[in-house]
Amino acid sequence: MIYSLNGKLIHSEPTFVVIECAGVGYKCLVTMNTARTLPRLGENVMLYTHMLVREDAVELCGFATADEMNCFRLLTSISGVGAKVAIAILSVLTPEQVALSVSLGDSKALTKASGVGNKLAQRIILELKDKIKKLGITEASSSETVPSSSVPAASGNISQALGALAVLGYTPDEILPFMNGIDTTLPVEKIIAETLKAIGKK
């Protein structure tokens, strides 16, 4: 498994890039969000990768962040969501927005992606919400699971942020310490972004 690539960007198109590592050019399918973060040709770039193995081809998908890669893997674990659809979703929504849409049950946001109809969007929300439930994150239980010494009193926004971050693969025990000091009156998406920023600094 190739976990990441670090090398020179030698070719770039809207749907894929080529990164040269030790004289070998690796083609990576990318989302539009990742494409927007790329440097100019000839400069160094690092992408997290996921390998797709099919009967007729082996391809790499490249992501600017580990959160985007993890979100891609979660999406493709759902029946009916292939790599093409997952890339389409992550081209119009960030991982944080995907997580928030699932947490809030907002299927309309997911249908903005090419190839995602209402039925598929609802299936994505249903299956990913089940993952949240398995972690025991709910509005009612959040006040019991969030220690007052770690973060301010659990508000609806904090609870929704916990659920959304669970979609990205984080458990409450992992993320609660990073929520210390975050303003609970901020919008949910901002709380998610601030928490991920704090995690990234560690």
Q: What is the pLDDT of residue 147?
A: 39
CATH number, span 70-85+93-131: 1.10.150.20
- CB neighbour list of residue 167: distance below 8 Å, 6 or more residues apart: 71, 74, 98, 99, 102, 103, 128, 131, 132
Q: Is 151 exposed, middle or buried (0-12, 13-18, 19+ CB in 10 A)?
A: buried
Residue indicated by tokens 């809207």: 14
Mean pLDDT of 112-139: 78
At 141, is the pLDDT very low, low, confident or very high (cuts 50, 70, 90)?
very low
Mean pLDDT of 176-195: 84
The CATH architecture assigned to 4-63 reads Beta Barrel (2.40)
Mean pLDDT of 148-175: 69
Look up the pTM and report it. 0.75
Mean pLDDT of 105-131: 90
> At 51, phi and psi to the nearest 5?
-90, 130
Of 57, 58, 92, 52, the closest CA to residue 73 belongs to 52
At 118, is the pLDDT very low, low, confident or very high (cuts 50, 70, 90)?
very high
Q: What is the pLDDT of residue 159?
A: 77
Task: Report percent pLDDT > 70 for the chain.
Answer: 87
In this predicted structure, the answer to whether residue 120 has a pLDDT above a threshold of 90 is yes
At 153, is the pLDDT very low, low, confident or very high (cuts 50, 70, 90)?
very low
Every domain of the chain and the residues it spans: 4-63, 70-85+93-131, 142-201
Q: Is 129 exposed, middle or buried (0-12, 13-18, 19+ CB in 10 A)?
A: middle
